[in-house]
Chains A and B, each alone.
Chain A
Amino acid sequence: MTEKKLAIIATKGTLDWAYPPFILASTAAALGYETEIFFTFYGLQLLKKNLNLQVSSLGNPGMPMPMPVPVLLQALPGMQSMMTMMMKQKMKSKGVASLEELRELCVEAEVKLVACQMTVDLFEMDTKEFIDGVEYGGAATFFEFAGESDICLYI
């Protein structure tokens, strides 16, 4: 059985959108896929040792709320951290893995993590803050793997 390949581009840096890349990559690896995630723009936040990702209901009318909150009130200071805290509690109570755990499972399963060099430079990110084992590359590096992939996702 030749190994299938999954290529993912992770572009988002919020608590909620950090899940799909790590869930899919860790599961694909468990199913025997060779997997690579290319982190670009805000997705680079997912590589930090110390994950401090937040979730916001602003601009996201699809987010389920325990009670309706007018948009202007959602913009008040402290609301974002409250939303984040509530989301984390909800996830914990439902047995959803933490991002740290899912990321660790990806690393253990040898999912290749590639950071976009251009956006690292653009945002002047300190790569010492990233977890070990991250590789750096550009668009051509991504296509080298993605061009051979069976599934390619942009998240």
Chain B
Amino acid sequence: MADFDRELDASGLNCPLPILRAKKTLADMDAGQVLHIIATDPGSVKDFEAFAKQTGNELMSSGEEGGKFTFMMKKA
């Protein structure tokens, strides 16, 4: 299991809040640090891919555990 520097629990939040909260959290982090995100919005899977592609932050991994979606994102 990869390590991370910050964690964001966006469970129960719907589009576009998980993305907006992630953006806000990443803004307080240093380049190269890793954010672990937990979400329940199924739309967030595609949205975090799109977010990474457009912002240059690297989506290191994404997965699903017991109905929750998890993402590891490295700040560019």
Q: Give residues in A with beta carbon < 8 Å to B.
A: 1, 23, 26-27, 30-32, 94-97, 105
Residue pair B55, A32 in contact (C-beta under 8 Å): yes
Residue of A nearest to B47 (CB): A27
Task: Tally A-B pairs: CB < 8 A.
Answer: 32
Expressed in whole angstroms, the minimum distance between the Cβ of B36 and any Cβ of chain A is 18
What is the interface of chain A mostly: helix, strand, loop, or mixed? loop
Other-chain residue from B12, B20, B51 in contact with A105 (beta carbon distance below 8 A): B20
Residue pair B23, A30 in contact (C-beta under 8 Å): yes
Known: A32-B54, A32-B55, A95-B41. A27 touches B12 (CB 8 A): no
Other-chain residue from A1, A27, A94 in contact with B14 (beta carbon distance below 8 A): A94
Q: CA A20 – CA B12 in complex, angstroms?
A: 20
Q: CA A94 – CA B16 in complex, angstroms?
A: 12
**B41: which A residues are within 8 A, CB to CB?**
95
Expressed in whole angstroms, the minimum distance between the Cβ of B12 and any Cβ of chain A is 5
Expressed in whole angstroms, the minimum distance between the Cβ of B41 and any Cβ of chain A is 7
Residue pair B55, A97 in contact (C-beta under 8 Å): no
